[in-house]
Structure 1
């Protein structure tokens, strides 16, 4: 359990996240993920990083139980800072990052894939921000990198999810494959990238980040301030409590994963 790094092919590092049952990361997990991605990108032998996960889904966001059982705001602040560092580590990785996504990709998962250079997804993958249902705000910055503006807003306000195939039609998912083919497909793309000159691919990553029209660090940090305001005002606890009492809504996988996380 935790974050591990392997090297299945020359020039490729695979960073794998494994926090059962649903990959809802505790504060330490976000920092460990950030450190692993940064270390992989700093390795002069690595030309591409693949970010993947074990278990039922790619990522279910932060560990809400950790926040609920911790007095004061330390866990909330830790999750905020940890997510900020993990998202930035993916975006600022010195080499391209390919996200291999299966199952659910929710909340913080959107922050990870929205900052990746490419996304390969399994046919069962779904993407969304259930933040408003959980008394939180954030990662609209990253969802906006996956879908057009009005669709991002509708998804954000409703907490609905979209499928991998829908994102493929929007151009934000490179390829959709059967689940058993996911890692192979991600590695195929990674090998093609890793075949380039190592110095040149690093210059290319830096150049592309440099022309990005959105400062993702500043944009996400702005959003985080509203999450903390929602907690200080008490509205976050009220919404989370109401959500917990509402029971399972079969329309949305986010509810099922959250209930399992809190059981």
Structure 2
């Protein structure tokens, strides 16, 4: 997979996706289109079971590429095309049938924070900060995604004041999975990724579908939906292999078939 701004490496069922748009991984039109293309392609790659998203350099992503915006602020057809692209950058991550781990290596701001919070699991380096600076540059955005993870008072402080939350504070509050020194970030993310990559591809696909679907459902309907997925899973050969491996006290061997 050849890309200029989004680099991908696949090894042992784990795809590492690196945003590489110096100096701060700002999200231009080309950046977003490449990101969407990469995640769509990985979604259809059977050998990939989990994805790690990180940034090259000192910044995870500083958000939207302000320099590439229309300085006249005139509303045109391209305004709506840009809004649609920006939405899809987050949803292509959320809707992926692979688990996605954000390895946040530095500031994640605005749309950069949006990418991180759309991932399934977040680990961050201790120099990382998360922020919504839109109010300081005459823009809005990021509120709804942020509210999925972050409590009301802190979300409103971030939106109204531009407060940048240190990763250590989010870890203390139980909002992100880990906060580690920068040199331990990728090993930490890869450890989690490798644990996930050992699982059945079909089970992972159904689990991700359950996670995404039941989040907005009531308890009874959500549980019923999960039960139906369980029934679906038992018809797959991976289910039989998992049970047989458990009984024989050996590691399961799954095929990249979904």
**TM-score, normalised by the number of residues in structure 2:** 0.78
Equivalence for 1:16:
18
Deviations 1:204-225 (A, max 9, x none): 00011011129xxxxxxxxxxx
Equivalence for 1:109:
112
1:107-256 paired onto structure 2 within 5 Å: 107-213=110-216
1:76, distance to aligned residue in structure 2 (A): 4.2
Q: CA RMSD in A?
A: 1.7
Q: SS at 2:69's partner residue?
A: helix
Equivalence for 1:45:
47
| Distance (whole Å) between structure 1 residues aligned to residue 213 and residue 9 of structure 2 | 29
Equivalence for 1:91:
94
Equivalence for 1:60:
62
Equivalence for 1:34:
36
Higher helix residue share: 1
From the CA coordinates, give the structure whose radius of gyration is larger. Answer: 2
Q: Which stretches of structure 1, 4 residues or longer, exceed 3 Å deviation after superposition?
A: 68-79
Structure 1: 5+ residue runs without aligned partners? 215-263
Q: SS at 1:37's partner residue?
A: helix
1:70, distance to aligned residue in structure 2 (A): 7.3
1:201, distance to aligned residue in structure 2 (A): 0.6
| Distance (whole Å) between structure 2 residues aligned to residue 180 and residue 76 of structure 1 | 40
Structure 2: 5+ residue runs without aligned partners? 218-258
Contact 1:30 1:79 in 2 (8 A): no
Deviations 1:26-57 (A, max 9, x none): 11211211111121122111110000110120
| Distance (whole Å) between structure 2 residues aligned to residue 31 and residue 81 of structure 1 | 11
Equivalence for 1:259:
none
1:81, distance to aligned residue in structure 2 (A): 2.1
**TM-score, normalised by the number of residues in structure 1:** 0.77
